[in-house]
Structure 1
Amino acid sequence: MLFAATATVTLCVLTLTSCGSGSGSSGKGGGKVKVGLITKTDTNPFFVKMREGAQKEAEKKGVQLTTAAGKYDGDNGGQVTALENMVSAGVKGILITPNDSKAIVPALEKARAKGVLVIALDTPPEPQSAADALFATDNVKAGKLIGAYAKAAMQGKEAKIATMDLSPGVSVGVQRHQGFMEGYGITDKDPALVCSQDTGGDRAKGQTAMENCLQKAPDINLVYAINEPAALGAYTAIKAKGREKDVMIVTIDGGCEGVAAVKDGRIAATSQQYPLKMAADGVAAIVDYAKTGKKASGYTDTGVQLIAAKAQPGVESEDAGFGVDNCWGK
C-alpha cells in the first residue's frame, strides 16, 4: 500500500508540471483534451526522449499531457496505479510502454471499457489486442539486423555467444532475442549459445550478467545485448578481463551514448530506433480521436536502421555519422 501511495503522489506532482500550452482542443466535456503517457522508467534516455516527443506534440496540438513512470524496469504495480489515476482524471487517451506485457492487460481493458484510447508504445501487451494500437519499432527486425551483421562479421569463425536479455514477461525482450537468433541463423538449442542472462536492460546488471557468463564460458567471443545500457555494462566486464579486442558486441537502441560506442569500437553495431516519433505519433492519434471519434488501430512501424562502424558484405547499414545525426539522449 505504501508503494501505491508513493506512485500516486508522484503522478500528481507530474500532473501539475507537465501540461501543454495553447488554447487546446476540446473534448466532450469542454476544456483541453487530456493525454497520458506512462513509460517504463523516467531515467532511461530512451524514455526521456519519448517524453520529450510527447510533450512537443502536446504543445503543438494545444493539449494537456500528464506523464508518469514505473520506479524501475519491471514495475507493473506503479504503472497500474498511474493508469488508474489518469483514467480518473479524465484523459482521452493513454500512451504506455508496458513493464509487464501480460500483467498490465486487466488495467488496459478497464481503461478501454471507459472509452479511453490505449496506445502501446515500443512494447506490445500480450495479447497485442489488449491495446487499441501499437506504435513501435519492429523488434524482431531490429534483432535480425544485428544478428545478420554479427554472422557476416564473424566470417565463418566458430561463435561462442552470450545473450544479455531483458526480463521474463516482457515481449520486447523476447522479440529482440528471437530476431537476433533468426538473423544469426541459429536456435536457442544451438551449442553456439553458451550463456544467457537477464539484465532488466540495466547497465550495472549487464556488467554482473557478463561477469557470470565469462565465469561459465571464458571463451565467449560474441555478445547480443537487449539494449545499449546492458551492452555497455557487458563491455565493462569484458574489458576488465582484457578481452575487449576479441569479443564482438551487438545491440539495439540508437541512443547517442550507444552510437558513440559504435564509433569508438566498444560496440560493433546497433539497431537504431526512434522513440520521439513513437510518442509524437501517439499524441497526434489521441488528438484525432478526441476530434473525430476515430480510433487508431493495429500496428504502426516507426522504423529501425542498422548502425555500424564497419560495413559488412550483404548487410545494409549506415555509419556512425548517420547514427549521431539521428540519435537520442546525450
Structure 2
Amino acid sequence: MKPTPHRLVSSLALAALALATAGGCASKAPSAADRDDGRFIVGYSQSNNAEPYRAQTNLQLKHYLKAHPKIKLLPIADAKQNSATQVSQVQQFIQQRVDVLIVSPTEPAPLTAAVQQACQVRIPVIILDRTVNTDCHTAFIGGDNYEIGKKAGEAAVKELPDGGDVVELRGLLSNQPQIDRNKGFNDAIKANSKIKVIEAREAKWLKEAAVPIMQQWLSRHKKIDLVYAHNDPMALGAYLAARAQNRQGQLKIIGIDGLAIPDGGIRAVQQGQLATTFVYPTGAKEAVDTLAAIQQGKQVGKKQTLGTTQVTKENAKQLYQQYDMSGKAN
C-alpha cells in the first residue's frame, strides 16, 4: 500500500531521529570557536516565503543581523508550505552542523521529530512563530494567537452591536495559529448571541485562495455583515471579491498581521479597506537577540511571547512609521 504524505513525512523524520539518537547525545555541532573564521553559522527553514508576513520576517531578520557581523545566516530555505520539504531542509542544516537552527514550522507534527533530531546532537533550536510538539528546543518566539483571535472577536462585537452574520476565512487547518485564532475569536463573540458565523473555510493564508471563496459566499448570501480573516492577505482577498460586486460598503473586514508594507494591513486600514487589523510581530528582532545570547553563551528565555496592537484609523499612520522597514533593511 502506498504511504500517505503525512505518514511518509513522519517516517522520514522518525528515521532521521533514530539515526541521530544512535550517535548519542555526546555528539555536538562545532561552536563558533571551532571555525577558522570565528563565524557563528545559522540555518533557517521558513514555512513559505510567498506569504507577505514571512517575506517581511526574512527581511527584518537580515536587517537586525547587520549589527552582528560574526553571525552568518545561510540562504533562507523556503519550504513552500510543504512539510516533507521542510523536514528535509532541517535535516540538511543538521548535516551541515550549523551552530543554531531557526525553524518556522509549516505544521507542528511532521516537524517535531526533525527538531528533536537537532536537539539530540545539541544544536540549539529557535522555533519562530509556530509551535512543534516537543519541548526539546532552546527557545520559542511568537505571538499569543488565542489572545489575538480573542481581540479580533471583541472588535467584531463592537462593530456589530446589534448582531449580524459573519464569515470566517481560516488559515491552514493543521496550523496551531489557525486553531488558536479561530478559538479566540469564537469565544469572544459569545458576548453577543446575535452574532452568528454562517460560513467558515480554509483559505491556507493566501489572498488568491480567499478571493474565490468570498465570491461564492457573496453569491450565496444577500447579507454578510463582517468578514474575519486569520491574516491580512485573506482579508484583502475578501475585500477584492466584495469590491468586484460593489458590496465592499456593506460589510466590515477584520484581519491580522498589520505589516507596514504598501499592500499590508496597516495601509488597508488607513484606506478604509479593512475596519481593523492586529499587529502580529515577526519576532525577527527577538530571534536575533536570542542568537546573539546563544553565541555569547548566555541563558535565553525558553518561551518569549510577543504582544499585539490593534490598528485603527487613528493610530495607523504612527504604527506604519514605527514598523516600516523599507529604509532600514536594504
Alpha-carbon deviation of 1:295?
5.3
Counterpart residue number, 2:319:
323
Classify 1:159/1:184 alpha carbon distance in 2 versus 1 (closer, same or farther; 3 Å): same
1:68 to 70, 76, 86: 76
Work out the CA distance in 2 between the residues paired with 1:117 and 1:180: 34
Alpha-carbon deviation of 1:71?
4.7
Structure 2 counterparts to residues 15-164 of structure 1, below 5 A: 27-30=32-35, 31-61=38-68, 62-72=70-80, 74-127=81-134, 129-156=135-162, 158-164=163-169
Work out the CA distance in 2 between the residues paired with 1:143 and 1:265: 21
4+ aligned runs moved over 4 Å, structure 1: none
Classify 1:329/1:147 alpha carbon distance in 2 versus 1 (closer, same or farther; 3 Å): farther
Matching of residue 308 in structure 1 with residue 304 in structure 2:
no
Matching of residue 249 in structure 1 with residue 256 in structure 2:
no
Q: What is the total number of aligned residue pairs between the two structures?
A: 292
**Structure 2: tracts of 5 or more residues without a match:** 1-8, 10-30
Work out the CA distance in 2 between the residues paired with 1:265 and 1:208: 22
Counterpart residue number, 1:286:
291
Superimposed CA distance per residue, residues 72-105 of structure 1 (whole angstroms, 9 cap, x where no aligned partner): 3x31122112111111112121111111111111
Alpha-carbon deviation of 1:145?
1.6
TM-score (ref. length: structure 1): 0.81
SS at match of 2:101: strand
Work out the CA distance in 2 between the residues paired with 1:130 and 1:102: 14
Alpha-carbon deviation of 1:274?
2.2
Letter in 1 for 2:156: A
Matching of residue 262 in structure 1 with residue 260 in structure 2:
no
**Structure 1: tracts of 5 or more residues without a match:** 5-25, 310-317
Work out the CA distance in 2 between the residues paired with 1:221 and 1:131: 43
Classify 1:238/1:225 alpha carbon distance in 2 versus 1 (closer, same or farther; 3 Å): same
Higher relative contact order (CA 8 A, sep 6+): 1
Counterpart residue number, 1:11:
none
Counterpart residue number, 2:4:
none
Tell me if structure 2 keeps the 8 A contact 1:34–1:66. Answer: yes
Superimposed CA distance per residue, residues 277-320 of structure 1 (whole angstroms, 9 cap, x where no aligned partner): x123223323322332x5535321222100122xxxxxxxx621
SS at match of 1:296: coil
Work out the CA distance in 2 between the residues paired with 1:141 and 1:237: 28
Alpha-carbon deviation of 1:32?
0.9
Work out the CA distance in 2 between the residues paired with 1:198 and 1:231: 13
Alpha-carbon deviation of 1:50?
1.5
Classify 1:44/1:268 alpha carbon distance in 2 versus 1 (closer, same or farther; 3 Å): same
Tell me if structure 2 keeps the 8 A contact 1:36–1:66. Answer: yes
Classify 1:308/1:120 alpha carbon distance in 2 versus 1 (closer, same or farther; 3 Å): same
SS at match of 2:255: strand
Matching of residue 169 in structure 1 with residue 174 in structure 2:
yes
Work out the CA distance in 2 between the residues paired with 1:327 and 1:197: 31
Structure 2 counterparts to residues 231-242 of structure 1, below 5 A: 231-242=235-246
Task: Report the more deviating stretch, 45-54 or 258-267.
Answer: 45-54
Matching of residue 180 in structure 1 with residue 185 in structure 2:
yes
Work out the CA distance in 1 between the residues paired with 2:120 and 2:154: 43
TM-score (ref. length: structure 2): 0.81
Matching of residue 196 in structure 1 with residue 203 in structure 2:
no
1:221 to 225, 228, 238: 225
Alpha-carbon deviation of 1:114?
0.8
Classify 1:181/1:98 alpha carbon distance in 2 versus 1 (closer, same or farther; 3 Å): same
Work out the CA distance in 2 between the residues paired with 1:234 and 1:327: 25
Q: State the superposition RMSD in angstroms.
A: 2.5
Work out the CA distance in 2 between the residues paired with 1:85 and 1:203: 31
Classify 1:63/1:174 alpha carbon distance in 2 versus 1 (closer, same or farther; 3 Å): same
Work out the CA distance in 2 between the residues paired with 1:94 and 1:173: 24
Tell me if structure 2 keeps the 8 A contact 1:37–1:51. Answer: no
Classify 1:307/1:237 alpha carbon distance in 2 versus 1 (closer, same or farther; 3 Å): same
SS at match of 2:250: coil
Work out the CA distance in 2 between the residues paired with 1:183 and 1:323: 25
Work out the CA distance in 1 between the residues paired with 2:325 and 2:52: 5
Tell me if structure 2 keeps the 8 A contact 1:35–1:283. Answer: no
